Chain A
Amino acid sequence: MRSARFRRTRRAGAITLVSALTLTALAACGTSSSDDGGGSEGGSGSSDPAAPLDPKTKVTITIDCMPPAAKAAELKEWKEDVKAFNERYPNVTIDGRSTPGQCLEPPRFTAMLKAKSQPDVFYTYFTDLPQVLDNDGAEDITAYVNEKTVPALKDIDPSVLGSLEHENKLYGLPESNYTMGLLINRKLFEQAGLDPDSPPRTWDEVRTAARKISGLGEGIAGFGEYSAGNTGGWHFTAQMYSLGGEVVDASGKKAAFDDELGKQVAENLHAMRWEDESMGKTQLLKWGDLQKQIATDKLGMFLAAPDDITYMVQQLGADYENFGMGPIPGEKNTLAGGNGYMIKEGISPDKIKAAVAWLNFKNLTVGRGQFDWARKKKDDLPVGLPQPNFWLNESKRRDDAARIEHATMPVENFKTFMDNPVPGKAEPPKAQEVYKVLDNVMSGILTNEDADVGQLLSTAEQQVDQVLATQ
């Protein structure tokens, strides 16, 4: 009897002990799981996501796209920025990940998203957002981004920020942007008696200027357009946007270019090619062909983004001085794009705060980080190109002034482009497939004198509907 009581007492003690151990273990698990993969390592960050990062917080964040050793000047600036950032946040370790070549190669990027192996702060093109969300790749940072954490927030162009939003939630912060404008060859403008400081602002003016430039003879074309390798469709889209038109309707399911504006774009190009003969005889051009022509003074104008000029100077040996830019003719809308950084879903709130603090310091502060133009000039990097430029208001005024002050090229050549910003508009859904179909419209117009513009547009519209229906 006594022994039975003793057994019961022993059993009750064991149960109590096991229960206590289990509860302790569960409590420990709770702590660890709430941290979700390593949050702050010794910090005491505020639980309010809207509050800025507490400088005492100790975290390590991995960041995409640190410049590789081959880009010595850019890498030097990165290291300087990390050092300066650590003066404010000494406990944040910035672990930069560098990739050779371009920061984002689509196949590698997709694989990284699938494997959830992207760094805590990862580089994306604006057009990557749907893919990132489909893969639960990015954190909703709406609550973390405000005027305390990103003081210049109100001065960021809403159309740029909008490229990183979905259903009113913010998923990234921009680093760079581009919008298309009209790139001109100043030398040919002067030779043709045109004012290179005042590039054409309407398509009628483009037509008149192109006629004058092609009148110089010697195989010089006034205006150039692509019509192969999907780039024809891409530029047809840009021209449609410039007149306020659409390529795909708001539902994203129907083509919307077989209308009066579509005909206007097509007929204008057809007339320039065949009536004015101001677009040169060689067609079926794709990306790179027009850059070569304008760099060798064989082309007067084409639609481009400012970074084309960097390509022409650095790769084709042209001079910055010979180029200028105006806004896209028509000026209703322009095709826009760019890139930014997103923050990996599931990392701790302190890490998110540290990431926002770093992105604010490196990419979103006028006069610091990537906008430190004085340092760029000292490091022999190009200063004075009109983009990236997503600033508005006071930030724009200060940044533009600094660019001008430290310019390494004649910035007044881009004045018309900078003084007349055109609202940016993103690419249509299934962009490449749509562009493939629209290539036929462009090549038809530019290679066939007897092209039936209406027929070309109508066939392409049916085909784009078919492409969009299989989404």
Chain B
Amino acid sequence: MSVSLKAKIAEVFEEPGCDINQGKSEKERKKGCTKQLSPGAAAGGCAFDGAKIALQPVVDVAHLVHGPIACEGNSWDNRHSASSGSTIYRSGFTTDINELDVIYGGEKRLFKSIREIIEKYDPPAVFVYQTCVTALTGDDIEAVCKRAAEKFGKPVIPVNAPGFAGPKNLGNKLGAEAILDYVIGTVEPEFTTPYDINIIGEYNLVGELWQVKPLLDALGIRILSCISGDGRYKQIASAHRAKVNMMVCSKSMINIATKMEQRYGIPYFEGSFYGISDMSETLRQIASLLVKQGADAELIERTERLIEVEEARAYKRIAEYKQRLQGKRVLLITGGVKSWSVVAALQEGGMEIVGTSVKKSTKEDKEKIKEIMGEGADAHMIDDMTPREMYAMLKEARADIMLSGGRSQFVALKARMPWLDINQERHHPYGGYEGMVELVHEIHRAIFNPVWQQVRIPAPWGDDGESLGAVTPTVTTDHLSGIAAKAMGLEPEEIPA
């Protein structure tokens, strides 16, 4: 691995804004957050995947992947955040290197590829992603990008996050470093206002940003740039003129927030758009920080009035489902803030959380869960659960629905239990006040689909195995701690998120 990449990774691990990291001893910290993966028992994307996830929502640039067909050919077009304009980000560009490039180096092909893209598509910038094979053969993408940028008079940004450098979340941060090093601060905005903010770490999946933007618009707050959902190259390049940065929960790009604070003195806060009270808290934070930065003080009052109206409306709409959803048990297999931020909305809808995974949650996240769920919250926090355990739990009907990411959906479906996607590949936006109502609506729709009765009817001739048969909804939730324990003597497998 190149020296510069090593240095970058070390820098990312030193991240002062990351409390997990700060909680560790100096020595541990040096090791960073990359756990050694165990071969044959690992799941999840690579650093390249993470960098691409973080940056691909910049919709008007061409994202060029330098490597063999595996990296882009097997992955392109499989997720995209919504765009309100350009669609070039949805095209897959790759150098698709061959054996000769492996032997003689692929820099020439990369350079030519950049030229072809600029000639044919003329995007405001090209992002070039490094991958395992070309990193191993020593292709210097930084140098090629520099030369191409000079030659074609356009920004060509190297994103040095080859897959083997580590897991997806490291890739998120390395992608963010590319933005910091090459993009932010290179363009001046046409004008600025005292109400300019950046939103960092929000990818506008299924258009969620647009469930929030109208609220900001109404308050006169301008999103100078969103990094990176529905992002535009020029806007991100001028992000250094914002008054406030909002770091969206996931911390995936916390380094942008902390470095912008150091470099440009822009204060940041961490907020979330998921959950009603979180949404309100976020609006409050934005308003008060903007006022501190010189915006008119009445912004705070206007914000409070808006919150009051929106909260009342959201709770009223959720309450409509309360009667039917009363007592329904939800198993929440997600991570980070979502492990608690949606809980309030679910409880408001009359539901009970029988388990929430805390594998990817921070200490604060866990505190929050305790706060919301009260006594006995501990028993409901699941550290790690193998697919087999999830399957058993659903099969025995100790939950009425599972909310998780797409990769564990079949665990629920094969157990003939309702399932709802709350991670990347979902089709429904769950942001802001609107989104929480939508979530409860979707849960209702999933649980009350008559299909569940149908698929549980055993064959009259009884030969599809008794375990396939109807689910008997009797068991209570006391088994939960047992489930969290590592049942069946198996190592915990990574819970797909």
Q: Do the two shown chains form a genuine complex with each other?
A: no
CB within 8 Å of A: which residues of B?
none
